[in-house]
Amino acid sequence: MGERPIDSSAQPQRQATNGKREPALEGDLQTLLGRALDQLAATTRCTHAAIWSAGPEGEPRVLAARIEGASLALPLPASFTAALALGRAFDLGAPDPSGQLAALLEQGFSAVAPILGHETNGPAAGVVLLGGPDEPPNRVRPRTLAALTATAERLRAPLQTAAAAQRLSSLDQEIQQLNRLAALGGLVAEVVHEIRNPLVSIKTFLQLLPERESDPEFTENFLGIAREELQRIERLLTVVLQHGRTPRKEERGDVPEALETVLALVRFRAEDREISLVAELPEVLPAIRLGGDELRQILLNLALNAIEASPARGIVRISGEICAAKIRIDIDDDGPGISDDVRPHLFTPFFSTKSERPGGLGLAITARIIEQAGGRIEAVNRPSGGARFRVSLPLV
């Protein structure tokens, strides 16, 4: 008997259980599946052959099919699960141990073999099915079952590899989702941290307002600074809604102006801790390649850090000078300095030596802003005692 012609519907194909075409398998695997079905058809004279496997959510799907004169049948979950559990090639005309295999007969198949997993008792990777007038149910020849078993065995390793790749892809997607959630958590923490600083300054002014309400200079400075800090919070939230950004090269920052604002913000906190603030800058400083908001954020974080590190009656000194094509700003404190075990973690997010409350983002945020602007930050211990944070930022 000559070979039967194979129509276009007999070519290996992959189809989802909802009838929509899924993305093609990797080329090598798709070719392997097609050749396996062609060889099975040539050996057994079957007119129907298919390979089914489980999708990412465990749903049955058609990996490849060779069907003559009939439309592609989609696997039913119950019959697919029953076929996976058979453990060997099975004539569908024999008594059905599960009661769920009758649907396979209705789809034109007469025999099925599970593609076993690597482990003896492990789950099957899929099933191979065949059928045709020369192999009716309950009269499938032993050599046909043997050929079906051999095909399933040959597909065992490649399908297990494909399943492993699928699990890795799914795991990668889960990891990416976790990374996005972690990034979102970090962003929220950064926003909270950056909003807290101006709110603390405004709160300090409000606490002092009742006793200094009659001081016009105080109220005028307070209103100006409060308005500016609230605007900065508003701009920060706008940036968050725009998914963040890196500093643009065309932005310009004025160091003396930013430092004056920051000193006004932290002066009352320093006075409350009996700490003196000293600023020493050249009379003329060129603009730097960093926006005013980012520059004030850097100086505010470092100034607050220095105030908290210094003991009562200590001095926080902020100085600056032009060095090559950059401005170098030093923030010195009179604190205990930086220990060797803390130094490697200074700019690590969520690392903090203040165990009594959450923190650990100020220096990390500061370092990130500086690095994005093409600058550098380093921390050293001063020979005379205390710590020095040195910031170098490029000129415009």
We report the CATH number of the domain holding residue 77 as 3.30.450.40
Could you tell me if 133 and 28 lie in one domain? yes
Which amino acid, one-letter code, is at 387?
A: A
d(CA 297, CA 3): 79
Could you tell me if 156 and 28 lie in one domain? yes
pLDDT band, very low/low/confident/very high, at 250 (cuts 50, 70, 90): low
pLDDT number for residue 22? 39
Q: Which of 177, 207, 236 is the last residue of a domain?
A: 177
d(CA 192, CA 350): 13
Beta strand 60-67 with 48-54: parallel, antiparallel or unpaired?
Answer: antiparallel
Could you tell me if 279 and 365 lie in one domain? yes
d(CA 90, CA 102): 13
Could you tell me if 135 and 257 lie in one domain? no
Between 207 and 149, residue with greater pLDDT: 149
368 inside domain: yes
Q: Greatest CA separation found in the chain?
A: 112
pLDDT band, very low/low/confident/very high, at 167 (cuts 50, 70, 90): low
What tokens were used for 274? 């009996």
Residue among 48, 43, 44, 45 nearest 10 (CA) = 48
216 inside domain: no
3-state SS, residue 193: helix
Number of domains in the chain: 2
Range of the domain at 310: 251-396
Confirm if 279 and 321 have CB atoms less than 8 A apart: no
d(CA 197, CA 224): 16
Could you tell me if 143 and 40 lie in one domain? yes
CA of residue 246 relative to chain centroid, distance: 19
pLDDT band, very low/low/confident/very high, at 372 (cuts 50, 70, 90): confident
356 inside domain: yes
d(CA 257, CA 286): 12
Could you tell me if 158 and 260 lie in one domain? no
Q: Which of 134, 158, 177 is the last residue of a domain?
A: 177
272 inside domain: yes
What percentage of residues in the chain have a pLDDT greater than 90? 29
pLDDT number for residue 272? 86
Q: What average pLDDT does range 131-156 have in this prediction?
A: 90
pTM above 0.75, yes or no: no
Could you tell me if 28 and 168 lie in one domain? yes
d(CA 163, CA 157): 10
Helices assigned H by DSSP within 95-215:
102-106, 142-212
Residue 98 has pLDDT above 90, yes or no: no
Q: What is the DSSP letter of 283?
A: S
3-state SS, residue 101: coil
Could you tell me if 17 and 165 lie in one domain? yes
239 inside domain: no
Q: What average pLDDT does range 295-311 have in this prediction?
A: 91
What does pLDDT average to over the chain? 79
Could you tell me if 159 and 281 lie in one domain? no
